[in-house]
Amino acid sequence: MTETGEFTYRRVHRATPELLFDCMTTPEHLARFWGPAGTTTPAGNIVVELRPGGAFETTMVNDADGSTYTMRAIYVEIRRPERLVWIEPEVEGGMKTTITFVDLHDGRTEVVTHQTNVPAAYASAEARAGLSTSFDRFDAYLATLVPPEREGA
């Protein structure tokens, strides 16, 4: 049996919990940032059945060679705009992802992504770096949705 791990990632975004939750649950938003650098995930490749027991599926396309990678998950908990939980049953051990949106009450939200039952292959430095680029893409996309604050405003 492959050893599994646990990881927590934290990012603070200048956006409301509602906007961040919607970005994580709407195919048109997800298509703008889902997946590591060097991949695209067209909206037509995303299934979001936003209910406990509903499907969450994405098929990323490698920009260089066209190969695809499909992630299949089942929503376990949905509490807009505070929490989103899914399990990937096809991943050995049933990897669980919990995303918590913490309103900092100053126009910013901390997004805490906690993963458990992470297989060793997903815990490699390369895989974690890929996830980090996906977070970076999310930041860049959010910058197009939330105008920068004006100084002195």
- Alpha carbon distance 135, 39 (integer Å): 13
The verdict on residue 103 lying in a domain is yes
The verdict on residue 68 lying in a domain is no
8 Å CB contact between 11 and 111: yes
What pLDDT shows up at residue 123? 82
* Ranges 6-10, 77-81, 88-92, 129-133: which has the least confidence: 129-133
pLDDT at position 49 over 70: yes
The verdict on residue 46 lying in a domain is no
The verdict on residue 122 lying in a domain is yes
Residue 120: CATH number of its domain: 3.30.530.20
- Alpha carbon distance 77, 80 (integer Å): 10
Structural domains counted in the chain: 1
The verdict on residue 127 lying in a domain is yes
- Alpha carbon distance 61, 58 (integer Å): 10
**Residues contacting residue 4 through CB under 8 Å, at least 6 positions apart:** 92, 93, 95, 116, 117, 118, 119, 120
The verdict on residue 121 lying in a domain is yes
Residues 52-64: what's their mean pLDDT?
97
Give me the percent of the chain exceeding a pLDDT of 70: 93
> Domain range spanning residue 111?
4-34+77-145
pTM (2 d.p.): 0.89
